[in-house]
Each structure stands twice: as structure tokens, then as C-alpha cells.
Amino acid sequence: MTSTTLHIDYVATSDPKRHTPAKGHRLAVISYGGAEPDICDGLSIRVPLAIAAGTDYAEVWSSSTPIERYRIGRLDIAATGDAALVSLIVPNTGTDLEQAGHDAYAELLDYLQRQNYSHLIRTWNYFPAINARHLGEERYQRFCVGRYRAFSERFHDFLPLLPAATAIGSHDGDITLFVLASKTPGMHIENPRQVSAYAYPRQYGRVSPSFARATVKSWGEELHLYVSGTASIVGHESRHIGDVQAQLSEIGTNLDALANTCRAHSLRIPTTPALRGMDFIKVYIRDPAHADEIRGVIENHYQRSAPTLYLIGDVCREELLVEVEGMWRVSTRD
């Protein structure tokens, strides 16, 4: 058990409390849309996705132990005890995403191994035109190939090491990656309703995406369950093409199945629908015209009142209209 307690809050960008860390030291402030990043003792990261609806929140990450902040090459790092948050920005200058993904993850993984933060816990990947085609493949597929190459060059058997992850397309901005890593491992969890992403058939690209459906990690006094970007996929197939409400309902079913799997691992997950019960969620919406409809379903049908970020972003498959990621603060059963 690490002595560092890691804490995450969603705080409205208009709320001055975002400047006050909950656990003593601000590890990072992650902002969205046009919000200006905060200046803090940790990292200030701006994700180039517009707010679709609702409150504009910033993610405030704080630590119970002091933070070491530094830069190595292209990497911005905030490290504290067992945790390291590392960000990397690649200028969007038409770079082939296979090479960009490879070089970025090679740099990230080499740093993390050198510093003994060798266990990836959660990754986020945002880049423009995720569904556009280049050299006969979608840019997302090419990114997956590059990331896969970086892992396979460094690990003989890396599939058990893959963490929860998100990959979303922005409409502008640079390639923005950030990862949470640790000196001690988390536990990666799969969803029985879905084929593991790393086992998708070849119709989805030369290599499969490299992530787990969820990762659970103990941080001192808190136990976090990070849920990957979850879409309307059953098995490996997209469902409910063109029907945003049906896709959102399928996402809810997938999240409930994941929660049940986590309970089987002796994690205390609330019995409410997962879409209602998670501490935080981000909802990525392809078409801004669907934003109010999606927000209405989440707030009315699921009766969700906890902090929710609604963002305009392209899901990794063109036919998918919405994706949800999130986090629970959980505990183990007695």
C-alpha cells in the first residue's frame, strides 16, 4: 500500500475551490474547451475538446505528499510517491499517426521504466481527425499500430500490462497524450459482454487496440476504479447504427456488466445503474446536435446528478455516436 493518497475532483471552472487541493498538493489540473489551464505546482493540461452541454468542469488531481515537477525531452512530469502523471504534446503538422504514436509511447515507456513507474494505470489519447484515412487506413488504426509497436519492442508479453484507456478525436489542436503510472501494479479488468480490445479480429486494423476495459488501483486512503471509454459494442461489433439513444442504452448495459465483474473481484460497487452511480463521467458526443438529447437521458432516465462532463469528440469508429468513460471511488468488501 502506497503512502500517497491520490484524489480527483471535478470542480466547475468558475469555482475558486479549483485552486485548493483536497489532499495538500495539486498534482494536475486538466481543463477542456477554451478554458485556460491553471498554473499550479503540478501539471496544467488542456484537452482540445469543446464543452457540449452542462457545466464546464476542470479535473483537479491532488496528492497527500509533495510533488516533483520537471521536464525531460517532450515529457512534462508531475511525480509524487507512487504516482506519476506524464503528458506529451505532439504538434499536429500532418505527421503520420503510426510513427507519431510509436515515438510518443516509446518515449513515455522508456521514461517510466527508467524511473521505476513501470505500471501503467490509465492513459488518454486525443488527436484530430481520428476517422480520416491515411495510406488506406483510418488514422486511429495507424495510431494503434504505432502504439502496439512501442509496447512489443519493450515487453515480450505486454497484453496483461495494458491499462484502461481512452482515444478520442478532436476537431482541432495538437496530439495530446497523458498517462497515469505507478511503481506498484493495479488490476486490469475485462467486460464479459465485450471481446477484449486487444483480441479484436483483423477487420478493425492490422493490430488490435491496446487497452483493458478497466483498471483498479489503490492510492493510500483511496481505491480508484478507472473505466475505459465505453461505446455501443457487444462482442466486437458496433450496435444500433444511427440510433443515439439505443447506443447510450447499450453503453449503460455494458457498464452494468463491468460493475458486476468488479463485484466478483470483491470490489464494493453501488447497486444503482453504473451510469448513475459513478463518481465522475465524461460523455464524448460526435454530433453537437445530440448533446441535449444525451444529457436529458443521463439526467432524467438515469437520474444522474454527480459531476458529468459533456464533450464534443469523435469516437474511434465512425458509426459510434457516443462514448462514456468514468471513475468510481470504491472499497473492498470486508
Spatial neighbors of 219 by CB under 8 A, at least 6 apart, are 2, 4, 5, 6, 7, 82, 83
Spatial neighbors of 40 by CB under 8 A, at least 6 apart, are 19, 26, 28, 29
Rounded alpha-carbon distances, angstroms, from residue 221 to 7, 214, 265: 9, 20, 19
Closest CA to 200 of 231, 235, 232, 230: 235
Rounded Cα distance between 185 and 118, Å, is: 8
Rounded Cα distance between 147 and 127, Å, is: 14
Amino acid at 81: G
Judge whether 137 counts as a catalytic residue. Answer: no
Q: Are 84 and 77 in contact (CB under 8 A)?
A: yes
Q: Among residues 98, 250, 323, 325, which one is catalytic?
A: 323
Which residues participate in catalysis according to the annotation?
Answer: 323
